[in-house]
Amino acid sequence: MSPRTAPSKNRAVQARRSVLLADGTIAHGARPRMEEEFLLEALRWMMKSRLYDQKVIALQRQGLFGVYSPGIGQEACIIGSAMAVDPVRDWMVPQYRELMATVHHGLPLEVITAQYLGKIGPARIPEGVKVLPTQVSIAAQLPQATGLAWGLRLRRQDSVVITYVGDGGSSEGDFHEGLNLAGVTRAPIVFFLSNNQWAISTSRKVQTATRNFALRAAGYGFEGVEVDGNDVMAVYDVTCEAVERARSGGGPSLIAAETYRMSFHNTTDNPSRYQDQKDYDEARSRDPIERVQKYLAGLGLWDAKREAQWTEEIREENERAMKMATEAPAPRPEDVFANVYEEPPPRVIRQRADLVDGQGG
């Protein structure tokens, strides 16, 4: 795809942004914010995300991990967006395919891993980490994220909220209610829509008749921008711009990132039943990680030796987190009752006592 740099006449929708092309060259006229050292950092995080996903899939196949939705193919969205927000003051409201974004934002990998292993205490997001729990009820996080951003402004905090949704989530009523309220309140929020082309087996074409998802923003009275979601440099740029806009009082933005789910919806899914091999192969040729490696190799900053060394280091890091999560204390039966009420009703206290006494109520 050739980059289009001419601004659209429609202020609400700009041309699709692109910096680093699939062949590892920089788009003509692009002036990326990411410098080489920073791009190396982005690459490391993207590799960490993919290696973690691969490890988890292998463990799940052995019955050692819960149902899991990998982000394979979407690492540029996950990492490019996360690198544009400030973990100290900004909040991240994830869906469920942005695991490594939340880790970048300060959530320890062993904590989010413990969540998938069904742990309770060890899976609690630590105080000070500005990340909300993963959200499996599709798009339910959007009105919540809007409320959070609105409230942070009422509390006079210099914070921006970034939240994630997919192409499928854009069809939910909560998408409309969340974005509409954000537009009306001019809340400091960035809606990051990863269009990975699939809602389980349902094609993106079923989700909307609009040409691209960024167009949806016009209906809410704020900025919409389309970006090559496999281009970490472009994703970073547009997210930085959206964050700056939100922080300076310019209101919300919708970023529509065009990417491809190069894996399954989750570990129970079988894409061969509905996915065309040639679409997958085409996506494969636009791999977000390989293009960064090609680009850096051209600068003499990347080679097979470095790749092997990083791969080994990252695998060790991921293994350490996995080990910590696995060895963290398993929940006790009475944890069924944990964290529901500040003061449980007497009936619940009695049910808990019955369970502990082995009477089962």
By annotation, the residues acting in catalysis are: 261, 265, 274
**Of 281, 305, 341, 357, the one binding another protein by CB under 8 A:** 341
Q: Which residues, in sequence order, are CB contacts of 118 under 8 Å at separation 6+?
A: 66, 330, 331
CB of 242 to another protein, least distance (A): 18
Asked if 329 touches another protein (CB under 8 A), the answer is no
Straight-line distance from the first to the last Cα atom of the chain, in angstroms, rounded to the nearest whole number: 64
* Alpha-carbon distances, residue 313 vs 66, 292, 334 (angstroms): 25, 19, 39
Asked if 347 touches another protein (CB under 8 A), the answer is yes
* Alpha-carbon distances, residue 199 vs 29, 164, 202, 361 (angstroms): 35, 14, 5, 41
**What CA–CA distance (Å, rounded) separates 56 from 49?**
11
The stretch among 49-57, 59-67, 138-146, 289-297 that binds another protein (CB under 8 A) is 138-146
Asked if 140 touches another protein (CB under 8 A), the answer is yes
Q: Which helix (H) or strand (E) holds 51?
A: helix 36-61
Q: Which residues, in sequence order, are CB contacts of 285 under 8 Å at separation 6+?
A: 22
Which 157-186 residues touch another protein, going by CB under 8 A? 157, 173-174, 176-178, 180-181, 184
**Of 23, 345, 354, 356, the one binding another protein by CB under 8 A:** 345
Token digits of residue 327: 């060895």
The maximal CA–CA distance of the chain, rounded, in angstroms, is 72
Which 98-117 residues touch another protein, going by CB under 8 A? 115
Asked if 147 touches another protein (CB under 8 A), the answer is yes
CB of 340 to another protein, least distance (A): 5
The answer to whether 219 touches 166, Cβ cutoff 8 Å, is no
Which 236-275 residues touch another protein, going by CB under 8 A? none
**Of 44, 55, 124, 315, the one binding another protein by CB under 8 A:** 124
- Which residues make up the interface to another protein (CB under 8 A)? 115, 120-121, 123-127, 132-133, 137, 140, 142-152, 154-155, 157, 173-174, 176-178, 180-181, 184, 338-342, 345-348
